[in-house]
Amino acid sequence: MRAAVLTKVGRVDVQDIPCPALRPDEVRIRVEAVGLCGTDLHIFRGHANYNRDAHGRALSLEEHPQILGHEIAGRIDAVGVDVRDLTPGDRVIVDQGRSCVSEARRLCEYCDSGDSHQCEFYSEHGITGLPGGLAEYVSIPALNAVRVASTLDPALAALTEPLGCVVHATDALRAAPARYTLADGRQAARTIVICGGGPAGLLFVQYLRCVIGFDGRLIVSETNPRKRDLAERFGAVAVDPVDGLAAQVRRQSAGRGADIVIEATGAGEALASIPSFARKQATIVLYGHGHGGTDLSVLNAVQFLEPTLLSPVGASGGHESDGRPTTYVRALRHIEAGAIDVASLISHRYHSLDCVASAFACDFGAPDYIKGVVVT
């Protein structure tokens, strides 16, 4: 089969490699669509490497090339002999994480509590070294495949994973023992600021407005005018931080500032700006990753606010009675029902694995780029 293989930092080669083997409890998926994520870009650029050996040592791309891509939708090509509830031809999306549940072993404490993405033995297709979706086929545990119950475009179905991460993060926000919450009552948040109007920020806007029903001030800080336009369309007030974010937040909130901040950029300057517009004891969701080049002393001003800090990761949230991941099921159904508009986020469609290298090297960061999906 053909696969886009990251052979060294900044270099993707399309290669012919063996088709993945199939264990009795697995299914092989013919990949139809893969979303390109900021995590993929971090790995491509060498800013992150999550592929480690048993001693925690990072494995270089030269010794262990990687196939990226963890936002996957496709069609089942073959099933293992022990799989009873899926058949070839079924359309599915993928939970890329292998855990105690999907591997059918005794549950570790994290899987037992519904936090399977923090599994003691966790590994991820497309992130921790397991082959990802930027290939013609990928084999996964059958329990990681969630059936698509509609005629949904595979490119849209592939965005179940990033929406699932937003669902999980919002669940954590709603459950947090914090001064400012999303619940009704005296301490209900009046103003939420989302730093970043990329795919994650735009999904947060829609989920908070359309699913959670948050009706307070929702402000998105974003430099890109196209992304600001989308944020406005989805129900937020979009501001350009270049024009002075703190002053704009204070003005929009009648001087109060932000009760909840969702940092969805991974940019150091965004993290450093939070104390200028967040209320004391605000709830701060550290969702974005990266923050490269940031002096850690910026945390001093954050700590002085005495905030509730949340750092939700992944799309955990327990499992359905059939073992499928609940958060992925919820996210997919929201997309299928039209509650969340993911189509508007897709700015670039690539119709060949041969386009992957230029997508990473050239398109990310372009003025018109929001979200790319490889459709094969």
CA dist 231 and 366 (Å) reads: 18
Q: Are the beta carbons of 307 and 283 closer than 8 angstroms?
A: yes
Q: Are the beta carbons of 241 and 221 closer than 8 angstroms?
A: yes
Q: Are the beta carbons of 363 and 372 closer than 8 angstroms?
A: yes
Residue type at 339?
Answer: A
Q: Which helix or strand (DSSP H or E) is residue 285 part of?
A: strand 278-286
pLDDT at residue 72 greater than cutoff 80:
yes
pLDDT at residue 291 greater than cutoff 90:
no
pLDDT at 317: 86
Q: What is the mean pLDDT of residues 285-295?
A: 87
Number of other residues whose CB lies within 10 A of the CB of residue 37 = 22
Domain ranges, ordered by start, for the chain: 2-159+342-375, 166-310
Please report which confidence band the pLDDT of residue 59 belongs to, taking 50, 70 and 90 as the band edges. Answer: very high
Q: Are the beta carbons of 237 and 219 closer than 8 angstroms?
A: yes
Rounded-to-10 torsion of CA 7, 127, 341, 371: -30
In tens, the pLDDT along 117-134 reads 899 999 999 999 999 999
The residue length of the chain stands at 376
pLDDT at residue 296 greater than cutoff 90:
no
Q: Which fold, 2-159+342-375?
A: Quinone Oxidoreductase; Chain A, domain 1 (3.90.180)
Mean pLDDT of the chain: 95
Q: Which fold, 166-310?
A: Rossmann fold (3.40.50)
pLDDT at 187: 80
pLDDT at residue 376 greater than cutoff 80:
yes
Q: How far is CA 11 from CA 171, 230, 245, 319, in A?
A: 37, 32, 37, 37
pLDDT at 295: 87
pLDDT at 278: 97
Q: Are the beta carbons of 336 and 150 closer than 8 angstroms?
A: yes
In tens, the pLDDT along 107-120 reads 999 999 999 989 99
Please report which confidence band the pLDDT of residue 362 belongs to, taking 50, 70 and 90 as the band edges. Answer: very high
In tens, the pLDDT along 75-117 reads 999 999 999 999 999 999 999 999 999 998 999 999 999 999 8
Rounded-to-10 torsion of CA 289, 218, 370, 266: -10
What is the maximum alpha-carbon separation in the chain?
63
CA dist 362 and 376 (Å) reads: 20
Q: What is the mean pLDDT of residues 35-44?
A: 96
In tens, the pLDDT along 220-260 reads 999 999 999 999 999 999 999 999 999 999 999 999 999 99
Q: Which of 6-10, 168-172, 268-272 has the lowest mean pLDDT?
A: 268-272
Please report which confidence band the pLDDT of residue 292 belongs to, taking 50, 70 and 90 as the band edges. Answer: confident
CA dist 319 and 299 (Å) reads: 36
Note the pTM of the prediction, 2 decimals: 0.96
pLDDT at 365: 85
Please report which confidence band the pLDDT of residue 186 belongs to, taking 50, 70 and 90 as the band edges. Answer: low
Q: What is the mean pLDDT of residues 292-319?
A: 90
pLDDT at residue 185 greater than cutoff 90:
no
Do 166-310 and 2-159+342-375 have the same topology in CATH?
A: no
- pLDDT > 70 fraction of the chain, expressed in percent and rounded: 99
